[in-house]
Amino acid sequence: SQQGEEDPQALSIQEGENATMNCSYKTSINNLQWYRQNSGRGLVHLILIRSNEREKHSGRLRVTLDTSKKSSSLLITASRAADTASYFCATGAGGTSYGKLTFGQGTILTVHP
């Protein structure tokens, strides 16, 4: 079963608006990552946040992590039509499964020009 559950499943916004996607998970993690997938392509890594971090920024991306609530959010500011894609959260457990990631079901983001 998938560790991460994204919410909402689909999000439709206008260019220039902010987009917020949420991810919840069940077990302890070492880190949480967000990936993007354009239609028909492979996933591309966006940002990683470690379990001892609470917030991280990268360009127009802002990720938060609340380990007490086992949840994370991805905020894309000033969205563009080119941001249209599916976004997945993935959790890494560390330890003997250090390289393994468990992906959520994804959020489909549509940004209208």
Partner 1 sequence: DAGVIQSPRHEVTEMGQEVTLRCKPISGHNSLFWYRQTMMRGLELLIYFNNNVPIDDSGMPEDRFSAKMPNASFSTLKIQPSEPRDSAVYFCASSLPGLASNEQFFGPGTRLTVL
Which residues are near partner 1 by CB under 8 A? Answer: 2, 31, 33, 41-45, 48, 88, 90, 92, 97-106
With beta carbons less than 8 A apart as the criterion, state whether 105 and 23 touch.
no
Min dist CB 11 to partner 1, Å, is 17
Q: Mapped to the 3 state alphabet, what secondary structure does 66-96 carry?
A: ECCCCEEEEEECCCCHHHCEEEEEEEEEECC
Beta carbon nearer to partner 1, 2 or 24: 2
Token pair 């919840």 in the structure block, residue: 24
Beta carbon nearer to partner 1, 67 or 103: 103
Min dist CB 90 to partner 1, Å, is 8
Beta carbon nearer to partner 1, 22 or 79: 22
Min dist CB 97 to partner 1, Å, is 7
Min dist CB 18 to partner 1, Å, is 25
Beta carbon nearer to partner 1, 44 or 78: 44
